[in-house]
Amino acid sequence: MPTDYCLLLMKKLLTVTMSLTPSSPALPELLAGCLRNQRRSQELLYRQFYGYAMSVCMRYTNSRDEALDVLNDGFLKVFTRLEQYDTAQPFKGWLRRIMINTALDQYRASVRHQHEDLSAASHASTEIADAYSQLAHEELIDLIQQLSPAYRLVFNLYVIDGYNHEEIATRLLISVGSSKSNLARARENLRAMLQKKTNDEYARATR
């Protein structure tokens, strides 16, 4: 286990350094370049924060493609509204907020299109990744993605991004009560999925 963890850490370090190595200028410089609409700076910024932004977008969507859509829309906002960014604040926080907002916007737009009821949990797909080691982060994210949109958003906002129910209610145009119940059901679903996953693993292991 500790070796595993070490390995993971090293891998992460490696990716981080790799993402930074290609002539990675300091962030302020990159931002200045982006402000001048220089494509190269934009690319470097995008590359540098792709992973982080993608991890946010993945949680809020049900597939990688959809996440990429949100990500790119979000980055477009980043590039066009960069002058609004207060450099005193951490860039990641700003970026994260933009990504979340973009995801919520997209969700609202999609709801308007496909009058899907917010509360009904079109239930999580039962197919489960069969490769089980220990639940890797990605798999957990995958579980979140399997939640129905209404549950997924509330869960993300409340549990991971730290919004309270009032904020969520106003953001999603739902009542505080339904925010709370959605959260509870999200957890329930996740727990069930986890349970199923481990059961399957167990079943396979014992087979």
Partner 1 sequence: MQERPDDEAANEGLDRLFRKSAEEFEPPYEPAVWQIMSAKLDERDRVTIWGRVLRGSLAIMAFIVLLSGSWYVYKQNKVKTPVTELETTRPEALWATSGETRIPEKRSAVRNQSAEPASPVVAANDMSAAPLETSTSKRIRSEQPSITESTIESKLPDPKNNVAKSIVSQSEQETAGRHLDDQPMEIETSQRGRLSWPVVRQHSSPERVIKRSNNPESGLKKMTALGAKTSLKEGSGADLTPFVETKLLDKKLERVVAVDRPISEQTGSMGELPGYRSAIRTTTDAVVDDSATFSSEQSRIGPLDALSSRDVMRWPQWPTLAIPALSLPQSGPAAEKSANPIRERGLSVRVVLSPDLSAVGINNFARPGRNYGLLLEYRFGNRLSAQVGVIQSKKIYTATPEKYTWPADWKWYVKPVGVDGQCSMLDIPINLRYDFLRVPTRSGRLPAKRSRAERSPALWFVSGGLTTYIMQSEQYDYNYANPADTRIRVRSWSGKTGRYNVSNLNLSMGYERAISRRFSWQVEPFVKVPLKGVGFFKVRLLSTGAFLSLRYRL
191 binds partner 1 (CB under 8 A): yes
Q: What is the smallest separation between the CB atom of 35 and partner 1, expressed in angstroms?
A: 10
Total residues found in the chain within this entry: 207
**Burial profile 123-157: b = 16 or more Cβ within 10 angstroms, e = fewer:** ebeeebeeebeeeeeebeebbbbbbbbbbbbbbbb
**Given the structure tokens 């070490």, which residue do they identify?**
6
- Binding segment (CB under 8 A) for partner 1, from list 97-105, 112-120, 170-178, 183-191: 183-191
**Given the structure tokens 């199923």, which residue do they identify?**
196
- Binding segment (CB under 8 A) for partner 1, from list 70-78, 86-94, 119-127, 167-175: 70-78
Q: What is the smallest separation between the CB atom of 132 and partner 1, expressed in angstroms?
A: 15
Decide if 124 contacts 157 (C-beta within 8 A).
Answer: no
Provide the binding-site residues for partner 1, judged by CB under 8 A: 12, 15, 19, 33, 36-43, 46-47, 50-52, 54-56, 58-59, 68, 72, 75-76, 79-80, 136-138, 140-141, 143-144, 155, 159-160, 184, 187-188, 190-191, 194
